[in-house]
Structure 1
């Protein structure tokens, strides 16, 4: 029988990689699930609820990991954690794989490391897409947090004493987080606009009742990769887009920035000059803070005020909703692990040629194998 281990995360990570629901489903596949005591406490998954669902509760991390075949984590585990598993065990987590210095020691353990961030953007893998499940929550929470800091009402209110004007919200970057931010801001009654360099997002923005803001030239029409991510734009396009945004942002009350390019620092979208032109009391939530931020002057993990504008730069915003975030992440992991089990005889077998397996596998047999992490040839 395959043993799946789930250990507690670090003090800065309230999420957990399993839920009572997924424990039941994993045991139904034929696996044994072993969870460290207290691992789910911050996500309100008690030891009793996990035990009732079918998990064994272990007193320590070492006891949890001893001889396990699979380790499920939210954040990257340590090499010591992986070494406590069986040789050649499977590890699935949000590994932050572009951090070469951290990944090489993990690869050296000989474990098969799967980075959930590399999940292919194909229809068969939608239920496994951790970036989408977590970004959806982050987009929602960003607007809620911004509204609480704004200090004014968001919807237009017509009263006997006069009219309260609607707040204006501007969403920069229309991926999963951006789309949820648009929808949430609209539900709260704000007048919403949004921008993105990918042409496919224009229709999505308009379908949610928001106004699309972008320089729509020939470069814009080619600004999306086959995987659906934004391409790096030319300095000329960036200058034109920055001018358009600078003029638009002057009138905005709330701005949410979400722009990220895999493997690269976050692009700077809002400069100090733009901040100086914004209305005092405006609020910006920078969802790219963990990658350096989209806003000049943002401080990761802090809220600062620059030119009268509050800049919020949260780290792990999805983790501030740990119950929902853990439930969704655990379902992503379960959908992924289903690929490794034969439902008829409940046997465990990895199809290394599967598109999803190949797309997420970053290390195997002691070396890094993912093409995105291969050394680049000198120019």
Structure 2
């Protein structure tokens, strides 16, 4: 059983899909592990570290992927990588399939069994495999660090002989995993923190972290959560009322962090240019949804834009900006999932295609797109 860990081909990707720790564990399960040269450098993992853990270092992606039974990646494989993979290989990564149906089809045509880690069900057994949570946690933390960097004042209140420095006011929009970590981090740095979310359960979570909860708490608000714990799309009427409340609140803030995402849809617009114009000059907004179109009007992917004297931070791959920490968690997510598909006695691959974890995440298999969200409708 050969497991391949290629270097990520995306120039902005710092993460790697394995660490020396997970390599040791995979070898303990009977695998041989091939890691492409330089795969972990951006995450502070040297080839020598992988080699000491028992991996073979391969000179190229093609050599790494050749005859591999399992391929572990951070991002969806590109066309060249697919050509180097054997038919029937299991490919485990964050696939970002929405809006990329042609790439999903290409994986099916390549004959690989592709698993999208972001589709992992939110059940107790799968918590250790939840890449959305592990990476969003770090993204929320890093968003505050990036916001503090762009904000040219101190975050905590400081009382000195020369006068008092007021605490920064931080507003977090969206209190999911990323938002809650952003709240906690901003509080640690001494900011006065408030937050909003359309899910009723978020109120208690926000307040438990010492932040003030801001929302229109009407009947629609009380029903605004899916069974899976995600936010529902709200009505136009509610969005208007919420926008009016947020607009009055946002004008008083120094740093705003937006985290709102709805699976499979463009990011909802939360901050308009009128809201930006109402903010104090020098204020900062960090848009964590910029890769999905952004929550902020005027946000530019991969750049720090300035609109109405407000900085809008649109860094891509926020978790990847702390690649060493992100890779450590991501690699553990992948190992935990792959371990469920390895027979401990025979030390061979033995996926249970009826397992809930597998059926929820598998995109392609046996030359077909099999996930119900992407499979072609039967005639």
Contact 2:290–2:300 (CA<8 Å) still a contact in 1?
Answer: yes
**1:305 aligns to what SS in structure 2?**
strand
Partner of 2:116: 115
1:268 and 2:274 aligned:
no
1:336 and 2:337 aligned:
yes
Distance in structure 2 (CA, Å) of the matches to 1:44 and 1:165:
38
1:7 and 2:6 aligned:
yes
Structure 2 regions of 5+ residues with no counterpart? none
**1:352 aligns to what SS in structure 2?**
coil
1:67 and 2:70 aligned:
no
Distance in structure 1 (CA, Å) of the matches to 2:296 and 2:66:
45
Distance in structure 1 (CA, Å) of the matches to 2:107 and 2:87:
13
Distance in structure 2 (CA, Å) of the matches to 1:52 and 1:255:
44
1:180 and 2:172 aligned:
no
Distance in structure 2 (CA, Å) of the matches to 1:51 and 1:320:
25
Distance in structure 2 (CA, Å) of the matches to 1:375 and 1:77:
21
Distance in structure 2 (CA, Å) of the matches to 1:34 and 1:347:
17
Q: Which moved more, 1:333-342 or 1:75-84?
A: 75-84
C-alpha distance after superposition, 1:112-149 (max 9, x if no partner): 10001111111111111111111111111110111111
**1:375 Cα shift?**
5.5
Partner of 2:151: 150
TM-score for both structures, normalised by structure 1 = 0.97
C-alpha distance after superposition, 1:212-252 (max 9, x if no partner): 00111111111111111111111000000000000000100
Say how many residue pairs are matched: 376
Contact 1:275–1:309 (CA<8 Å) still a contact in 2?
Answer: yes
Partner of 2:228: 227
C-alpha distance 224-27 of structure 1, shift in aligned 2 (>3 A): same
Partner of 1:35: 35
Partner of 2:282: 281
1:87 and 2:87 aligned:
yes
Partner of 2:77: 77
Partner of 2:363: 362
Partner of 1:244: 245
**1:374 Cα shift?**
4.1
**1:300 aligns to what SS in structure 2?**
coil
C-alpha distance after superposition, 1:242-288 (max 9, x if no partner): 00000000100000000000110000000011011111110000000
Structure 1 regions of 5+ residues with no counterpart? none
**1:107 Cα shift?**
1.6
RMSD (Å) for aligned C-alpha atoms: 1.2
**2:114 aligns to what SS in structure 1?**
strand
**1:205 aligns to what SS in structure 2?**
helix
Partner of 2:16: 16
Partner of 1:298: 299
Q: Which moved more, 1:243-252 or 1:153-162?
A: 153-162
Distance in structure 2 (CA, Å) of the matches to 1:200 and 1:370:
30
Distance in structure 1 (CA, Å) of the matches to 2:196 and 2:373:
28
**1:157 Cα shift?**
1.1
**2:12 aligns to what SS in structure 1?**
coil
